[in-house]
Structure 1
């Protein structure tokens, strides 16, 4: 986690934040944040996600897998097919639709949920 703590500190300084400010942004104590930078504690996955979103970097960069802070993320889902994050979100919503069709309780609410998901999917596909 040495790379994580170093990159976290570098990003904080580059963006002009004090440790206290970052702790407030992440809704944690200043000492908890300081421990991340010192490498004494490791953040949860949810906290890594918050940090990445705040600094607009990928988790791959923050964790030291790559050296480029911002890169296009692709997920390989089948041979010769890769999806960006937006396309993956659409597929995840479609999977949720598939799961909803099996629910037999409260059919009216399920139809309303299906309709909302369908509208979301149409909008997302249109933007792609």
Structure 2
């Protein structure tokens, strides 16, 4: 499971196997081996991958089918900066309205 998820997350961040290998100071063959499920990253490297891509180890390891924070980040990345500002403004309005109703 880690290979498929690692490949997905890596591509979502615009990294190639080569660029990920450089970031982790491992060979491209090592990254390829992980993604083909022939081997798994060491604990320290797994932690680095999770921090780098801001994804939970449970999701990456296949222990959970959903990483809510990762899905949220992917969704938010689809908005323009102006749209994000409008969302923040609407959020402030909703909180203000909730306070007014009390």
TM-score, normalised by the number of residues in structure 2: 0.64
2:15 & 2:2 partners in 1: Cα distance?
Answer: 17
When Rg is computed on C-alpha atoms for both structures, the one with the higher figure is: 1
Report the Cα offset of residue 45 of structure 1.
Answer: 0.7
Higher helix share: 2
Question: 4+ residue runs of structure 1 moved beyond 6 angstroms?
Answer: none
Higher strand share: 1
In the alignment of these two chains, the number of paired residues is: 69
RMSD of equivalent CA atoms: 1.1
Paired position in structure 1 for 2:90: none
The 1:70–1:46 alpha-carbon spacing in structure 2 relative to 1, beyond 3 Å, is farther
2:63 & 2:35 partners in 1: Cα distance?
Answer: 18
Pick the aligned partner of 1:46 from 44, 47, 57: 44
TM-score, normalised by the number of residues in structure 1: 0.51
Structure 1 residue ranges without an equivalent (≥5): 72-128
Report 1 or 2 for greater relative contact order, CA contacts < 8 Å, sequence distance ≥ 6.
2
